[in-house]
Amino acid sequence: MAASEPAPKTPIYLDYQATTPTDPRVVAAMQPFFSGSYGNPHSTQHAYGREAEQAIEAARAEVANLIGARPGEVIFTSGATEANNLAFFGALAALNGERRHLITLTSEHPSVLACFEELTQRGYDVTILPVDKEGLIDCGALEGALRPDTALMSVMAVNNEIGVLQPLEAIGALCAARGILFHCDAAQAVGKLPLDVKRANIDLLSLSGHKLYGPKGIGALYVGRHVRMKPVLFGGGQERGLRSGTLPTPLCVGLGHACRLAQTELAEEVRRLTFLREHFLSLLAGSLEGWWLNGSATARLPGNINLSFELEDIELVLTHLDDLALSTGSACSSETSGPSHVLTALGLNTQAAHNSLRIGFGRFTSQDDVEQAARRIAQVVSSVRSGEI
Ligand SMILES: *Cc1c(COP(=O)(O)O)cnc(C)c1O
């Protein structure tokens, strides 16, 4: 039976929401800044430092350009986790306890939810809004949750597990009308979908290099010029005093180049990945029953698919699918056992949430990869159901 055909040595990579490979063009752009232009970008008294500084400022401009910001509004961080932490703790410190109510969603990334847990410990009043069965926020419920003492609202652009895209412009308008800070964790959206911080009235936005074909260990926080912030790290006062520490020139350059590539290739990638996603779903629909797509089918990241299967236990399927690199739930939540908090937030029961696969297509996924994935998933699920394996 084909289900037991030998697995190729290299599994097909279908986990683009966990991380993306660094684009070789990005690696090439970074290369000169390790042993060549190695100056400290903050040592601008000499040519070594100035060369590094110029490269960093060019990179900052590329990041800003991709999200519709000004270069001075981009603070480099180590990634989206740090950007999220700086956004909340930095902005709330500057507010000095003036307003103590915060809002977020049940389906947010752990790096947001854990911050809100800590803020609850510190005496903030946190409302965690539910999402509907498509994974979308209910703007009516949101409006009802807003209070005169609401300081900040955090809603992710695109969910890392189910790829669902929240209506950012509607949320931004509600917040802007009331002077509430709007933070957006856009790690899964930047470079994948058009996004403009000014149009969506976003005050703070987090992004991550390794989610958009840049290197790991770099990200950025957009801080609108009007937003008051205090630092959470203290030191040399780099990054407008908000993020002390020597900037990693190669990583900043890599993030900048990744943003530039995303900008030029975004429209074509959206088209190609949407085609691959629909192609996969129709192939699977033609060869297997008893599964469904989790999250909105339309308000969705082009390269993301999240499926639940009618099965006793997905583990046996995963064991036999070692020729495909995919994940159950998110990379973060699969380290902790228990069903995904995102899938249960959609109303799935424990078993349906457990029997799920997240499939992520990206820049280096071919049509052949997609066809093989659909064929193998159908084969293995059928064989597990029939008790053949
Ligand atoms: C990956 C991810 C993060 C964390 O980003 P790091 O750069 O790895 O810290 C945060 N939020 C979302 C939505 C993500 O997908």
Q: Per-residue pLDDT tens for 234-281?
A: 999 999 999 999 999 999 999 999 999 999 999 999 999 999 999 999
Read off the CATH number of the domain in which 75 is found.
Answer: 3.40.640.10
Best mutation site among 109, 166, 218 for ligand 1 pocket (most ligand atoms within 8 Å of CB): 109
245 and 348 in a single domain? The answer is no
CA of 128 to the centre of ligand 1 (A): 19
Q: Looking at the predicted structure, is the pLDDT value of residue 310 above 90?
A: yes
358 lines ligand 1 (CB under 6 A): no
Residue 65 inside a domain? The answer is yes
CB 59 within 8 A of CB 195: no
Tell me the C-alpha distance between 35 and 250, whole Å.
10
60 and 194 in a single domain? The answer is yes
User: According to the model, what pLDDT value does residue 94 have?
Assistant: 97
Residues 156-181, mean pLDDT to the nearest whole number = 97
Residues 143-168, mean pLDDT to the nearest whole number = 97
305 and 365 in a single domain? The answer is yes
365 lines ligand 1 (CB under 6 A): no
User: According to the model, what pLDDT value does residue 3 have?
Assistant: 54
Atom of ligand 1 nearest to the CA of 158: 13
Element holding 214 (H helix, E strand):
none
User: According to the model, what pLDDT value does residue 330 have?
Assistant: 44
User: Mean of the per-residue pLDDT values for the chain?
Assistant: 95
277 lines ligand 1 (CB under 6 A): no
pLDDT tier for residue 338 given thresholds of 50, 70 and 90:
confident
111 lines ligand 1 (CB under 6 A): yes
Residue 7 inside a domain? The answer is no
185 lines ligand 1 (CB under 6 A): yes
213 and 174 in a single domain? The answer is yes
Q: Looking at the predicted structure, is the pLDDT value of residue 8 above 70?
A: no
CA of 88 to the centre of ligand 1 (A): 15
188 lines ligand 1 (CB under 6 A): yes
233 and 273 in a single domain? The answer is no
Residue 121 inside a domain? The answer is yes
In terms of residue numbers, what domain contains 338?
A: 12-18+265-386
A 10 A CB-CB count for 26 gives 24
Residue owning tokens 């990379």: 331
228 and 287 in a single domain? The answer is no
Tell me the C-alpha distance between 320 and 227, whole Å.
51
* Residues 6+ positions from 346 with CB-CB distance below 8 Å: 107, 131, 132, 133, 134, 135, 162, 294, 295
- Tens digits of residue pLDDT in 22-68: 999 999 999 999 999 999 999 999 999 999 999 999 999 999 999 99
Lookup: tokens for 219: 């990200």
CA of 13 to the centre of ligand 1 (A): 19
Nearest-CA residue for ligand 1 atom 9 is 81
Nearest-CA residue for ligand 1 atom 10 is 80
CB 385 within 8 A of CB 311: yes
Domain end residue (candidates: 262, 290, 322): 262
Residues 324-331, mean pLDDT to the nearest whole number = 75
User: According to the model, what pLDDT value does residue 328 have?
Assistant: 82
Residue 216 inside a domain? The answer is yes
Please say if 259 is a catalytic residue. Answer: no
Helices (H), the chain: 24-30, 47-67, 80-85, 91-95, 110-121, 139-145, 168-178, 249-287, 314-320, 341-345, 350-354, 367-386
Q: What is the DSSP string of 228-259?
A: ----SS-SS-TTTTTS-S---HHHHHHHHHHH
130 and 67 in a single domain? The answer is yes
Nearest-CA residue for ligand 1 atom 2 is 187
Residues 191-207, mean pLDDT to the nearest whole number = 98
Atom of ligand 1 nearest to the CA of 188: 15
Atom of ligand 1 nearest to the CA of 82: 9
CB 50 within 8 A of CB 37: no
- Tens digits of residue pLDDT in 366-383: 999 999 999 999 999 999
CA of 208 to the centre of ligand 1 (A): 6
CA of 330 to the centre of ligand 1 (A): 11
Q: Looking at the predicted structure, is the pLDDT value of residue 353 above 50?
A: yes
What burial letters (b/e) apply to 61-86, b meaning 16+ CB within 10 Å? bbbbbbbbbeeebbbbbbbbbbbbbb
Pseudo-torsion of CA 359, 159, 281, 322, nearest 10°? 10
- Tens digits of residue pLDDT in 101-115: 999 999 999 999 999
80 lines ligand 1 (CB under 6 A): yes
Domain count, the chain: 2
Atom of ligand 1 nearest to the CA of 209: 7
Cα–Cα separations (whole angstroms), residue 181 to 6, 125, 152? 54, 15, 5
238 and 296 in a single domain? The answer is no
Atom of ligand 1 nearest to the CA of 160: 15
Q: Looking at the predicted structure, is the pLDDT value of residue 169 above 60?
A: yes
Read off the CATH number of the domain in which 282 is found.
Answer: 3.90.1150.10
81 lines ligand 1 (CB under 6 A): yes
